[in-house]
Amino acid sequence: MEVTFKDVSLSYDGSREILHHLNFTIPEGTLVSILGPSGCGKSTTLMMISGLLAPTSGKIFFGDKDVTKQDALARKVGMVFQNYALYPHLTVLENIMFPLKMAKVKKPERKKRALELAKLVHVEDQINKKPGALSGGQQQRVAIARALAKEPSLLLLDEPLSNLDARLRIEMREEIRRIQQETGVTTIFVTHDQDEALHISDHIMVLNNGDMQQFSSAETLYDNPSNLFVAKFIGEPVINTLEISDFQGELDQHVPADILKNAVSVGIRPEALQDHDSGSDTIATIETTVKEFEKYGREKNAQLDFHGKKLLTTEIENNLEKDQKLTLYLQKSGFYLFDQDGKRIFGGDQDAK
């Protein structure tokens, strides 16, 4: 099911807005992540899609149908909660059967469907246990099976992996991807973990302070961040950010003057600072001093001093000494300028959204 938000805003108390004028369309059959820091409104957005929360203004469409006024009961979505919210007094099978029972499906039929779902999520050997006797990963699987039981048009996942340990998290995110592809259900996944979002989703929506920052593929987010927030939020290690005033003429020959005049912040990805000239992609050179050099495994990281500001690079070929002078070649891909509102005005592909 395609989900469309048209100018949706929400405020709990009428004065302070939690979400501001959201406009987006989630295409049918895709897996979309809503990504953002804590308190940015991503779970709230999910609650509005589910119908547990009604928007203060704006309209929500499922396909062509306006569902703004419908509650959770009527919207028929499946949802997995952060703490799974399984019914503790029911067995695994009864948990999966519960939505079917509420939909008044006949008992033999609902048992059959529940068993199929238990197989799909690989908990068929646990069906007679109570949720309390299951591990976190198994509870997660049961919660997904329950959410899928009534063949929902949408599957919503609210930070489903945050209560799992690191290894299980990676396993489960692949499971979610597999289940989504097997069932073809449009899936919306809320997370604060960029790694999770980048690995699992077709598209990522970045939210901050109740505003949509960017909604695009993982690759576009990284290569063409639409603003400073997205540039800083996506990428590990974090992008180097400097003020335009930290540069002393190094950019003058290389960036058009009318753009440079509006630029306020500079973002440089750590891999865009190279210690050798790559040729065509190099747009400028800067003189730095080595502050720290670390080498572990295949990785070489250097902390550099540039006019009193710190820079990090991961693209060092030769070992370095502390306090050594170093010329760095700034690569065009991975170099961005932002104006006073944080909007990207240089670097990347200007046409990309």
The binding site for another protein (CB under 8 A) comprises 47, 50, 52, 71-73, 76-79, 81-83, 85-89, 98-99, 102-103, 146-147, 149-150
Amino acid at 106: K
CB of 73 to another protein, least distance (A): 6
CB of 89 to another protein, least distance (A): 4
Taking the C-alpha atoms of residue 69 and residue 48, their distance in angstroms, rounded to an integer, is 11
CB of 334 to another protein, least distance (A): 41
Taking the C-alpha atoms of residue 72 and residue 70, their distance in angstroms, rounded to an integer, is 7
- Backbone CA torsion sign across 332, 207, 43, 40: positive
In this complex, which beta carbon is closest to another protein, that of residue 54 or of residue 171? 54
In this complex, which beta carbon is closest to another protein, that of residue 80 or of residue 328? 80
The two beta strands, 186-191 and 154-158, are parallel
In this complex, which beta carbon is closest to another protein, that of residue 84 or of residue 233? 84
Contact (CB, 8 A) for 262 and 343:
no
Indicate the Cα dihedral angle 308, 312, 313, 317, nearest 10°: 70
In this complex, which beta carbon is closest to another protein, that of residue 35 or of residue 147? 147
Q: Which of 135, 88, 92, 82 is nearest to 117 (CA)?
A: 92
CB of 79 to another protein, least distance (A): 4
Tell me the two tokens of residue 332. Answer: 């065009």
Contact (CB, 8 A) for 156 and 80:
yes
In this complex, which beta carbon is closest to another protein, that of residue 47 or of residue 272? 47
CB of 4 to another protein, least distance (A): 20
In this complex, which beta carbon is closest to another protein, that of residue 103 or of residue 237? 103
CB of 16 to another protein, least distance (A): 19
Contact (CB, 8 A) for 133 and 144:
no
